[in-house]
Chain A
Amino acid sequence: MRYIWLIPLLPAIGAAVNGLVGIRAFSRRLAGLVACVMMTVALALSLVAFWQLLALPSAERAFDVTVAQWIPTIPLQLSNGALGGLQVPWGFRLDPLSGMMLLVVTGIGTLIHVYSTAYMADEPRGGVARFFCYLNLFCFFMLMLVLGNNFLVMFVGWEGVGLCSYLLIGYWYEKKSAADAGKKAFITNRVGDWGFVLGVFLIYSTFGTLDFRAVQNAAATMPIETVHFGVLSFICLFLFVGAVGKSAQIPLYVWLPDAMEGPTPVSALIHAATMVTAGVYMVGRNAVLFSHAPMVMELIAVVGVLTALMAASIGLVQYDIKRVLAYSTVSQLGYMFTAMGVGAFSAGAFHLMTHAFFKALLFLGSGSVIHAMGGEQDMRRMGNLKKYMPVTFATMFIGTLAIAGIPPFSGFFSKDEILFRAFLHNKAIWVLAVATALMTAFYMFRLVAMTFFGAYRGPAWESTGQGAVAVAAAHGVKRPSDPHAHGQADRADHEVSHGPAEPHDQGHDSPHGPAAHDDHGGGHGHGPWHGPHESPTPMTYPLMALAVGAVVAGFVGIPAALWNRGPAIEKFLEPSFTASEVRPAPATAGAAATGGAEGAQERSVRGAGSTDAEHEAEQASQGLELGLMGFSVLIALAGIGIAWKFYVTSPEISERLAKNWAGAHRLLSNKYYVDELYNNTVISGTFGLGRGLWTFDRRVVDGVVNGSSWVTVISAWFSGLADRTIVDGIVNLVGRTCEEASFWFRKVQTGLVQNYALLMLFGVFAFVTVYLFSR
């Protein structure tokens, strides 16, 4: 456990190796191997550390490691006028919350690394190394974010995952839409990061420290801001702005659906399982702060449930398989925030974990489908795939049941916990959340029905086949820049189930079966596409592992109503959401003294920890909880049933509905026109501002510059004039004077020696005469 700092370091080493050496030198296999080994070792270390954490008594489950000093003590003035020393160590903390996140990140991260080795196998060699370099780098930053024990280390991870997200969304940077989506994600995240930084500044100036534990203990002593919007509320508001950006909530969710331009493993790891949950994690990490700011909590709950509802409704009508999942992710994140907002921190964190499993599973499954369909993402061109890819179908079906909330899959327990807590908190939120649950079940089964059931609607897989020419021409490979667009079906180790393919498959490939495809092995990217097929084992094994996770992950949170030992996860996570009562005794003693009974009571109602009062309430409402549970299962089944009716038994209903409700359908298809709204307000506003500033620059700034130069020119002209007339005049006057004065003298200078001699003679005579006469 002393070596938890190694856990983030290992992926960093992998990233460095792949980035510095691998892009030039490594083969695809070696690049993938380096990345996978690093992640596996990190996973093993995490398991060991987590095991050791579990061995401790629950009150002491926290472990701090300071690796080095980052910022040495700098004196800074705090808001109360005192002089504080800013000092930031590279400190890591393992406690129940970060331990859970640690397992999620390393566990799912490892599976996705393995999956990627197969998914990215058709990329160019350096591209694979680059991909794994980014992926490892992402894991490094994510682990920094999770393990950091102060806000600044967390911020390093926070920014780093944003960067890696940008790099990975824009992985196919030749594709304009991918590059644009990367930029969109980065810039939208930046808005949130601005809030996060402001929050951190405010925390420092208020508390004089950035350490999570110290901040929580200090905040626990402050009164709960129920009526006035005080400094704690502002801190929480700013932090929530950061969480909104990172976790794609209203109004900053627009980047997440576009982020699906990245490779599917990236969508699974970053945009479903880990990075987008960073906001939820951060709110949970600062549960003490947030529970002291009930107004912000209200805001979080409202934003969360509205996001959940809105995204789910958009997901109802999308046709791109990954976009459906993206909106589903936004919606589930909304659930988590709802949970955080109603004070059910552990329920939110629990849903975070289960969601990580089943959403990663669904994304990887969709990646498998896309892989099988040769890059096709439109569900209207799929159908009946369960025949061709049974493993993918089975695992995705499990994931779908989990997200829809069917017992005993994991999503049921976590979602139901959230619904129950929302019901206790506010009926309106509960109603919206239940509506969302209905939609969730509907759109997920719509996805499954369109993809795996019904008739096959995709392109025929022999472009020269009979009667399929028109179809292939119309629906054929749509994305030339996507490497999976070319027939990547040829792989030696894939399982081929080509039963119904035979009638269509009259081309050159008549002897069906693995042997025929083995001949094509290695001809990736050029061979013809051989129709949907099961994915290779490196892709199916992670799917199975995640499916197991999606089934069992919920069992740690079986609610008290069903099992009298209560939700284990809640007890496990509880110490992370409360100020430490054990560590610095004076601080909490002060809290008890100053906060008084009112504060304590408030915390018992609002706080994450289920204190005695809440336990009683829970017990009293166990019947209620059971009833709600049954209701939500009914709701989920209703959603499934409707979807089944619409898309399997009588598909024409959905068409008719879309026609009858054309306005609503268009609104949803266009995602409520939010992108257009942003485009017309913020973006064009920015452009307008830029243009205005440019005009100002041109008119005023350039004018001033030009004016000053003009003044300089004029003054220089005068100066030159003075120089020419006065100074030169004086000099010339002297010269002229000399010249004029010498006019008479120079006549003497005849140059004739005899003249000189004559003059000399006269002179001598004159002197001698004077001499003689004067004597």
Chain B
Amino acid sequence: MLLSAALFMIGVVGVMIRRNIIVIFMSIELILNAVNINLVAFSSQLQNVVGQVFAVFVIAVAAAEAAVGLGIILAFYRNKETVNIDEMNLMRW
């Protein structure tokens, strides 16, 4: 649980403070994996296999999310020649 919590907080802080979008992306992976650890841990603790199944789903979704996210990053990079998150303010009012 502590490991999981530590990983989660590292991921969250990474998302919050890093400028490079790829690093942010990796931080999100960290968060997801922290959740996975948590799920597996509770699964073995409670002798309930549902947690592990859920963890497998999370991995699959994370893979899909990584593919989509990397695609977006690639497209963005081709347009803007940067991966700096501060440049990504198109949604600004």
Q: Report A's interface with B, CB cutoff 8 A.
A: 746, 749-754, 757-758, 761
Contact = CB atoms under 8 A, between A and B. Distances in A.
A750 B91 CA distance: 8
B16 A758 contact: yes
A757 B85 CA distance: 12
A751 B89 contact: yes
A753 B92 contact: no
B89 A752 contact: yes
Interface in B58-93: 85-86, 88-93
Contacts of B85: 752-754
Interface residues of B, number: 13
A754 B16 contact: yes
Contacts of B34: none
A749 B93 contact: yes
Contacts, number: 30
Nearest to B91: A751
B89 A750 contact: yes
Interface in B27-47: none
Given A746-B93, A752-B88, 9 more contacts: A750-B89, A751-B91, A752-B89, A752-B92, A754-B15, A754-B24, A754-B85, A757-B15, A761-B12
A752 B12 contact: no
B86 A752 contact: yes
18 contacts: A746-B93, A749-B91, A749-B92, A750-B92, A751-B89, A751-B90, A751-B91, A751-B93, A752-B85, A753-B24, A754-B15, A754-B16, A754-B17, A754-B24, A754-B85, A757-B15, A757-B16, A761-B12
A84 B85 CA distance: 104
B34 to A, nearest CB: 14
Contacts of B17: 754
Contacts of A758: 16
A758 B17 CA distance: 10
A277 to B, nearest CB: 103
A750 B89 CA distance: 7
Contacts of B91: 749, 751
A749 B93 CA distance: 6
Contacts of A754: 15-17, 24, 85
Contacts of B92: 749-752
A749 B90 CA distance: 10
Interface of B: 12, 15-17, 24, 85-86, 88-93
B88 A753 contact: yes
B39 to A, nearest CB: 18
Contacts of A749: 91-93
Contacts of B90: 751
Contacts of B88: 751-753
A53 B16 CA distance: 130
A755 to B, nearest CB: 10
A744 to B, nearest CB: 12
A751 B89 CA distance: 4
Nearest to B17: A754
Nearest to B18: A754
A441 B88 CA distance: 125
A269 to B, nearest CB: 101
Contacts of B89: 750-752
Contacts of A750: 89, 92
Contacts of B16: 754, 757-758, 761
A753 B91 CA distance: 9
Nearest to A761: B12
A754 B17 CA distance: 8
Nearest to A747: B93
A578 B64 CA distance: 122
Contacts of A753: 24, 85, 88
B86 to A, nearest CB: 7
A753 B85 CA distance: 7
A751 B90 CA distance: 6
A750 B90 CA distance: 9
The 9 A-B pairs with the shortest beta carbon distances in the complex, nearest first, are: A751-B92, A751-B89, A749-B93, A746-B93, A751-B91, A757-B15, A758-B16, A754-B16, A753-B85
Contacts of A752: 85-86, 88-89, 92
Contacts of B24: 753-754
Contacts of A746: 93
A751 B85 CA distance: 10
A753 B17 CA distance: 11
A751 B91 CA distance: 5
